[in-house]
Amino acid sequence: MEYDLTDLLSSDDPPAAGLPQTVHESQLAGLLGISRQRLADLARSEIVIKTGRAEYDLPASIKAYCAHLRLHAGRAGRPSEGGDVLKAERLRLTKAQAEAQEAKNRLAAGEMVSAAAVNREWQTILRDIRAAVLAVPSRYGATMPHLTANDVAALDREIRAALEGLANGNA
């Protein structure tokens, strides 16, 4: 006996009343609107209840299949907890690619500069500062005639020691 899902749903009887307890796989596949191969996959996953060779428990299988569909509909668009690692990794990769492209666009628009360019610029600035500071003793000695050559040399040693300390991380 073949059952049509619309006839079953429009019946005023309780859902299990008048239904057979077991149906052939082709009947259940037809009721669920899936192929027999998909039905076999669901049986292996214990989503539908197989009672014998090509026979299924109709009420239990429909309830379990509907619960399975509700579970997947509730998770749609979100990675599942622990079970869908590949989906989560793809989502993470897509997000990282979007962020990388956004950074490239901002760099091209001049809203950002590369770390290498900032590093080169600071090296140039610090080299100029070092040269200016090292020139202080000779310039100061030229404007202060009362200082001896030893005084200018002592000032030069102190400035070099301070710069050396900064270069080594000692303030």
Q: Are residues 119 and 94 in the same domain?
A: no
- pLDDT by residue for the chain (171 residues), tens only, comes to 344 444 444 444 455 566 788 899 999 889 889 998 988 889 898 888 899 898 999 888 899 899 888 888 876 665 555 557 888 899 999 999 999 999 999 989 989 998 999 999 999 999 999 999 999 999 999 999 899 999 999 999 999 999 999 988 876
What one-letter code names the amino acid at 166?
L
Give the CA count within 13 Å in the CB-facing half-sphere of 61: 26
For residue 47, count other CB atoms closer than 10 A to its CB. Answer: 16
| Domain that includes residue 13, residue range | 5-75
Domain total for the chain? 3
What one-letter code names the amino acid at 27?
Q
Mean pLDDT of the chain: 84
Q: Are residues 29 and 11 in the same domain?
A: yes
Q: Are residues 156 and 99 in the same domain?
A: no
Separation of alpha carbons 108 and 100, rounded Å: 12
Q: Are residues 41 and 65 in the same domain?
A: yes
Specify which residues 55 forms β-bridges with. Answer: 24, 52
What is the model's pLDDT at position 3? 44
What is the model's pLDDT at position 158? 95
Q: Are residues 15 and 70 in the same domain?
A: yes
Q: Are residues 132 and 107 in the same domain?
A: no
What is the model's pLDDT at position 73? 80
Q: Are residues 151 and 127 in the same domain?
A: yes
Q: Are residues 99 and 149 in the same domain?
A: no
What is the model's pLDDT at position 163? 93
Q: Which of 65, 69, 57, 51 is nearest to 19 (CA)?
A: 57
What is the model's pLDDT at position 11? 45
Q: Are residues 68 and 91 in the same domain?
A: no
Give the CA count within 13 Å in the CB-facing half-sphere of 58: 20
What is the model's pLDDT at position 16? 56
Q: Are residues 92 and 71 in the same domain?
A: no
Q: Are residues 57 and 69 in the same domain?
A: yes
